[in-house]
Each structure stands twice: as C-alpha cells, then as structure tokens.
C-alpha cells in the first residue's frame, strides 16, 4: 500500500460533491420482473476462503518479497506456476525501473488472462511485492527491516489466485485479466524524503505505459490492497470516486446486496496514491481501490501497516471471503 495523496483531495472533493448532487437528482428506474429474475438466476461460484488463505500463507513463507532478492524471485516462480494451473494464458512482463534512491530494480508484472479473445473485459489487480522497510514500526530500530506484507500485498494476491481457480472451474463469459503488479511498495521511506515524484507503484506505472497487449483496454478495473485484516471496513476512497464513481457505487451496492453492508460503507475517505491512480491517469481505464480503512490509526490503514507485524497472524479468512465473494459476484453479474 502506498500513501495518502493530499494534492488530489481538494479537486476530488469538488468532483465528489458534483457526483453526489447528480445522484440526488437522478431518479432510479424501476427494476422490471425480468431484470430481477436475471439477477436471481446468475450463478456465482462460492469463494473458498481456506484456499485463498493458503495462497497468502505460501507467499509469506518465501520471506519478504523485496525486488532483487532470492525470496522475490522464488515467489514469482510460484505465482506464475500456480496461475498456469488455472489459465493457459499467463505471461510475465519483465522490466527494469529506477527506485527513489537510483537503485535499478528488476520487476515482474504477472498477468493471467481469461477469454483473451473477448473484447468486453474487466481488469482485476493487486501488488505482490512487499515493502523493504518497516518504516512505520513503533520501534525505530526496525525501520530498515523488510516486512512480510501478509495483508499489504499478499492478501489481494491470494484473493485473486482463488478467483482464478474459480474461473478455471466455471469460466465467466466476460473477459478478465488478472494482473499482479510488482515494485509497488519500494517508495521512499518516511525517514528519507526525496524530491522525486511518482516513486511508488512503479510496476503499474510501467504496465500502464506498456500494456501486455497493444491497444489494451478494459471496461473498468478493481484493485485489491490490504483485504485480509480483521474487522475491516472498506470506504469510498476519493481517488476511486474521482475517476470511477459509477464503478465504486456498483461494487458497493453488490456487496450490500449479498450481505456485506457492515463492511462496505458508503462513507467518503481520503485520496490515496496506489496502483489505481496510474491506471486511471495513464492508460485511462476507470479503476477503483478496495482497501481497508481504519479510523482508529494515524495512517487510517490497518494497525500493522508497514511494520514488522504485518505477518500471517494478521490474516482473517472471513475478510478474504467478504472481498473475494464480492468481486466474484461483480464479475459474474456482468454476464
């Protein structure tokens, strides 16, 4: 997970107000009996939280997945191999990028496609690398320690791999691309501030400028970040609301319809710099961020964000279920 984007907040607030006003003025069309019947008849697979948890656990077992390390390399091999068991269309986009400290990082964006010939597509994504610094750990002696990133990174990836497994059993009619972005969390530490902009989310920036398919497009995208913590709430993050308010509303309403209204709150919260920002800005695919919000922490992220305690003990199977079932329902209702 990246950081709060204070610069966008003022612009986004005005856009959000405009959106809210237009929402109030728009009358909802009555749902016909035919439409209601279609919704009821949509078959949505049952998301398996135990399976998703195992995928999270396996990533963490490699150790911190910091670019240019052996753990990073081994985890990439695992992710590619696992996705190939669920899709015959898996590719690795290798790239080199310069970090905030001028270090050259070897990145790998991992992409699994379903129904690749279908033009009607959705993008699902998460980041699979973990942060090289526990720079928000209460103990400053830990600030240069790499983190496991069980929730911040591995949880979203675990959910997406389970979704890929479900696709292999009961393929959706719509095209879906699952992208696991690399080098998301190698941004400048809080103890070392530079004047270099856009030094987070380097993998999604690279892909947005160099998509895996020429002229790639998708109807919209959903980013998963920190989707495995206990007692979560997911709110209307303002970067998402600025670029893709209709998609945000659609996903949240589906979550409410399937019983998760206590977790997906129609509450406006601050703008974030995360992978979805660059997807929206560069390749211009309207993309939202499902990211845990905690009003009780200074960062408003989950308690162990960017600390050495972001480990497998942070992961709740029920939260994986809530997010995974919501995303599955969104995809299958597109049919």
Rg (CA), the chain: 19
**What's the CATH code, domain 3-15+33-333?**
3.40.630.10
pLDDT for 5 = 61
| SS3 (DSSP) at 210 | coil
The HSE-up count of residue 83 (CA atoms within 13 Å, CB side) is 25
d(CA 263, CA 35): 26
Residue 152 per-residue DSSP state: I
Strand 104-114: give its sheet, edge to edge.
90-98, 104-114, 175-181, 121-127, 220-225, 287-291
CA distances (Å), 108 to each of 66, 79, 208, in order? 12, 11, 14
pLDDT for 190 = 87
The count of other CB atoms within 10 Å of the CB of residue 335 is 12
What is the DSSP track for 276-334?
Answer: HHHIIIII---EEEEEB--TTSSSSS-TTTTSTT-SGGG--HHHHHHHHHHHHHHHHHT
Sign for the pseudo-dihedral over CA of 72, 76, 78, 83: positive
pLDDT for 320 = 98
pTM of the full structure: 0.90
What is the residue-level pLDDT of the chain in tens, covering all 335 positions? 666 665 455 444 444 444 444 444 444 445 444 444 444 568 999 999 999 999 999 999 999 999 999 999 999 999 999 999 999 999 999 999 999 999 999 999 999 999 999 999 999 999 999 999 999 999 999 999 999 999 999 999 999 999 999 999 999 999 999 999 999 999 999 888 777 889 999 999 999 999 999 999 999 999 999 999 999 999 999 999 999 999 999 999 999 999 999 999 999 999 999 999 999 999 999 999 999 999 999 999 999 999 999 999 999 999 999 999 999 999 999 96
d(CA 286, CA 94): 25
pLDDT for 3 = 62
Domain ranges of the chain: 3-15+33-333
pLDDT for 6 = 54
The count of other CB atoms within 10 Å of the CB of residue 27 is 6
């Amino acid at each position: 997970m990246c950081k709060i984007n204070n610069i966008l907040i003022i612009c986004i607030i005005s856009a959000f107000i405009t959106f809210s006003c237009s929402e109030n003025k728009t009358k909802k069309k009555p749902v016909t009996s035919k439409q209601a019947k279609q919704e009821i008849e949509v078959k949505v697979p049952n998301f398996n939280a135990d399976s998703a948890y195992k995928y999270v656990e396996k990533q963490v077992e490699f150790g911190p997945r910091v670019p240019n390390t052996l753990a990073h390399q081994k985890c990439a091999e695992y992710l590619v191999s696992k996705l190939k068991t669920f899709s015959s269309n898996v590719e690795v986009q290798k790239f080199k990028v310069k970090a905030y400290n001028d270090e050259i990082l070897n990145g790998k964006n991992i992409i699994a496609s379903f129904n690749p010939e279908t033009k009607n597509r959705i993008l699902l994504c998460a980041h699979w690398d973990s942060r090289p610094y526990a720079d928000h750990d209460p103990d400053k002696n830990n600030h240069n320690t790499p983190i496991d990133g069980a929730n911040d990174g591995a949880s979203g990836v675990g959910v997406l791999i389970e979704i890929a497994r479900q696709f292999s059993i009961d393929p959706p009619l719509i095209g879906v691309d699952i992208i696991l972005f690399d080098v998301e969390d190698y941004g400048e530490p809080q103890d070392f501030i530079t004047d270099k902009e856009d030094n987070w989310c380097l993998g999604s920036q690279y892909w947005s400028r160099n998509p895996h398919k020429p002229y790639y497009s998708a109807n919209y995208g959903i980013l998963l970040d920190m989707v495995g913590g206990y007692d979560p709430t997911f709110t209307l993050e303002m970067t998402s609301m600025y670029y893709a308010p209709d998609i945000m509303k659609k996903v949240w309403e589906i979550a409410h319809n399937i019983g998760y209204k206590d977790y997906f709150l129609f509450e406006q919260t601050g703008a974030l710099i995360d992978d979805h920002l660059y997807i929206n800005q560069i390749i211009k695919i309207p993309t939202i961020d499902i990211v845990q919000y905690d009003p009780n922490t200074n960062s408003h992220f989950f308690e162990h964000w960017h600390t050495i305690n972001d480990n497998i003990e942070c992961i709740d199977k029920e939260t994986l279920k809530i997010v995974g079932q919501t995303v599955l329902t969104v995809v299958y209702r597109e049919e």
